[in-house]
Amino acid sequence: MGRGTGYGKTIVFGEHFVVYGLPAIASAITGSTVAVARRVSGHSYSIEDKRPETPGYKEKKKEQQLDSIKRIFEFLGFDPKENAVEILLEGNLVAASGVGASAASCAAIARALNEEFSLGLEDEEINKAAYEGEKGYHGTPSGIDNTAAVYGGLIWFKKGLPGKENTIQRVKIEPVEIVLGNTGITSNTSEVVADVRKKKEANEREFDKIFRDYGKIAESALGAFRENDVESVGKLMNENHSLLQKIGVSCKELEELVETAREQGAVGAKLTGTGRGGLMIALTPGKELQEKVAEAIEATGKTAFRTKIG
Ligand code: PMV
CA 234, CA 225: separation in Å to the nearest integer? 10
Active site residues per annotation? 145
Percent of the chain with pLDDT over 70: 100
Span 62-111, pLDDT tens digits: 999 999 999 999 999 999 999 999 999 999 999 877 889 999 999 999 99
Instruction: Indicate if the alpha-carbon torsion angle 134, 135, 137, 139 is positive or negative.
Output: positive
Indicate the DSSP class of residue 166. P
Choice from 64, 189, 254 to test ligand 1 binding pocket (greatest atom count within 8 A of CB): 189
- Residues having CB within 6 Å of any atom of ligand 1: 11, 15-16, 18-19, 98, 142, 189, 193, 273-274, 278
The per-residue pLDDT for 269 is 98
The per-residue pLDDT for 282 is 98
Can you tell me which atom of ligand 1 is nearest the CA of 16? Answer: 9
C-alpha of residue 78 to centroid of ligand 1, in Å:
30
CA 232, CA 124: separation in Å to the nearest integer? 33
Cβ atoms within 10 A of the Cβ of 79, count?
12
Cβ atoms within 10 A of the Cβ of 157, count?
22
Domains for the chain: give ranges and CATH numbers. Answer: 2-171 (3.30.230.10), 176-309 (3.30.70.890)
Span 117-142, pLDDT tens digits: 999 999 999 999 999 999 998 777 87
The per-residue pLDDT for 54 is 80
CA 197 to chain CA mean position, Å: 22
Decide if 268 contacts 260 (C-beta within 8 A).
no
Q: How far is CA 208 from CA 18, 190, 236, 245, 291, in A?
A: 14, 22, 19, 15, 39
Span 238-252, pLDDT tens digits: 999 999 999 999 999
pTM of the model: 0.88
Measuring from atom 11 of ligand 1, which residue has the nearest CA? 16
